[in-house]
Amino acid sequence: MSSEKPIPQSINYQSSTINCPFMTLPALLEHFGVAVAALSGVLAARDKHLDLFGVLVLALVTAFGGGSLRDMLLGDGAVVWLRSPEFFTTVCITAVISFFLCQWWTPPANLLLVADALALGFFAVVGTRKGLTLGFAPSVSITLGVITGVAGGIIRDTLTGRVPLVFRQDTYFYATAAMFGGLVYWLLRTPLGDDRATWIALTSALLLRLSAIRYRLSLPAFKPGNIA
């Protein structure tokens, strides 16, 4: 008899609640997160003067790239936007509206930073939760959380010919904040329960990311001129 544990197929996409109804708070946060990611894809497309099709592509890969890569690594059936088409609809609507709106208006940078930090923390916790729920080791689960939070942006920047923001020193603790959120969630999940651990971890990731931006905290990087 095989000792391999079957992967449950009932665990849904990126959401922090399994099989949650559309109007629950976790589902609304999920819609918020993919909408923010889609908006960042639209702004990247605007910088490169892409047409509406290019805008939709960048919005979709930014919003779903991390969750899709995570689900493919897990072998957890169809990826998120195939199983939950309402999120696909949210991204497409956000992209089309933003395409026309951003022709003459740019969202405030500070508002985007806060919204993006919140979405990053949420996706990181969601990815970590899914890994732990499927029985993977904490280190693997936290890595899955980081992938969920940052991989979409890496794909977006690669498609537009830029060094991915997450690899740059001036991005200030982006992947680090996602990793920290996943770590906090894992440490608190058992003693405090899932819901409290989720909110504390999300808040921790958010505060670390915003503090890093405020005080310009970053990981060490290669300096020009130091290489022989």
Q: Tell me the pLDDT tens digit for each residue of 155-180.
A: 999 999 999 989 998 889 999 999 99
What is each CA distance from 90 to 37, 53, 114, 118, in whole angstroms? 11, 16, 20, 18
Judge whether 224 lies within some domain: no
pLDDT at 90: 96
User: 199 CB contacts (<8 Å, ≥6 apart)?
Assistant: none
Q: Is residue 34 part of a domain?
A: yes
Look up the domain containing 69 and give its range: 25-215
**Structure pTM?**
0.85
Locate the DSSP E strands across 77-226: none
pLDDT given for residue 170 in this prediction = 87
- What residues contact 142, with CB distance under 8 A and at least 6 apart? 128, 131, 179, 182, 183, 186
Residue-wise pLDDT tens digits, 85-113: 999 999 999 999 999 999 998 889 888 88
The number of folded domains in the chain is 1
Question: Is-contact 165 153, C-beta < 8 A?
Answer: yes
Q: Is residue 84 situated within a structural domain?
A: yes
Place of tokens 């992938």: 147
- The span from the CA of 166 to the CA of 168, in Å, is 6
Residue 118 in tokens: 């919140």
Is 223 contained in some domain?
Answer: no
**For the segment 10-55, what is each residue's pLDDT rounded down to a tens digit?**
333 344 333 444 557 778 888 998 999 999 999 999 999 999 999 9
Asked, for residue 10, whether it belongs to a domain, the answer is no
Do the domain assignments include residue 17? Answer: no
Which runs of E-coded beta strand occur in 42-181? Answer: none
Q: What is the mean pLDDT of residues 44-67?
A: 95
Cα 170–15–19 angle (5° rounding)?
A: 180
pLDDT at residue number 20? 43
